Amino acid sequence: MAWVFSPRGEHALVFPALRPLLRLADDRPNDRVEHDQSVSHTALIVKGMPTFSREEIVHLGDLARIALTDEEITRLQGELNVIADSINEVQKVAGPDVQPTANPVPLEAYLRPDVAETPLTQAEALAGGPKTEAGMFVAPRIQE
């Protein structure tokens, strides 16, 4: 075991067997590509680690529909950079000749017998709704 320092100054216990997985701050190559609109995504992946800028975290928050606070954005930026570095090694093992596997236990898709079943009642389906009216879910308006 060895101690290394994360960018946030905390000590992290590292298993030598996993060291290739872990590329924490001190191990980062000097030619690390910073996030830059002029650099294509592909270049980022090939040349260095993905770097999460503040703007990128905000964008991901928008995509994920989470109204992140300023404090969360700052914290996530640091954490995601470390996590991304540590899992970036996966790409080195996964050569072009390896086929991806989606389901570890492959099954053939099949159709169930076409027999009617009793679904939830309308009342049951609506029971957990935050706001309902006249047998319907009430949603806020879509447009501003």
Partner 1 sequence: MTNATELVKLSAAEMAAKLKAKEVSSRELTEAHLAVIDKAEPTVDAFLKVAAESALAEADAFDAKNAKGETEGLPELAGVPIAIKDMIVTKGIETTAASKILEGWVPPYDATVISKIKAAGMPILGKTNLDEFAQGSSTEHSAYKTTKNPWDAERVPGGSGGGSASAVGAFEAPIALGTDTGGSIRQPGAFTGTVGVKPTYGGVSRFGAIAMASSLDQIGPVSRTVLDSALLHEVIGGHDKRDSTSIPREVPPVVAAAREGLKMDLTGLKVGLVKELSGDGFQADVEARFNESVKLLEGMGAEVVEVSCPHFPAALGAYYIIMPSEVSSNLARYDGMRYGLRVMPPADVPQTAANMMAYTREAGFGDEVKRRIILGTYALSAGYYDAWYGSAQKVRTLVIEDFKNAFEKVDVLVSPTAPTTAFKFGEKTADPITMYLGDVTTIPANMGGVPAMSIPAGLGDDGMPVGFQFFAPQMQDEKMYKPAAALEAALENQWGGPIWNKLNTPWLAD
**Residues within window 91-120 making contact with partner 1, judged by CB under 8 A:** 91, 93-95, 98-105, 107, 109-110, 112, 120
Which residue in the set 28, 48, 53, 86 belongs to the binding site for partner 1 (CB under 8 A)?
Answer: 86
User: What residues between 115 and 144 interact with partner 1 by CB under 8 A?
Assistant: 120, 124-125, 127-131, 137, 139-144
User: What residues between 9 and 38 interact with partner 1 by CB under 8 A?
Assistant: 10, 12-18, 20-22, 24
Q: Which is nearer to partner 1, 30 or 107 (CB)?
A: 107
Q: Which is nearer to partner 1, 31 or 113 (CB)?
A: 113
The CA distance from 107 to 70, in Å, is 45
Does residue 39 bind partner 1 (CB under 8 A)? no
Tokens for 73?
């954005």
Handedness of CA 20, 21, 26, 32 (dihedral sign): positive
Q: What contacts 112, CB < 8 A, 6 or more positions away?
A: none
The CA distance from 49 to 31, in Å, is 10
| 15: Cα separation from own chain's centroid | 24
**Quick check: 126 and 135 in contact, CB under 8 A?**
yes
CA 40 vs CA 23, 35, 46, 47, 103: distances in Å? 22, 9, 10, 11, 31
Q: Which is nearer to partner 1, 33 or 80 (CB)?
A: 80
User: What residues between 42 and 71 interact with partner 1 by CB under 8 A?
Assistant: 42, 45, 50, 52, 56-57, 60-69
The least distance separating partner 1 from the CB of residue 30, rounded to whole angstroms, comes to: 22
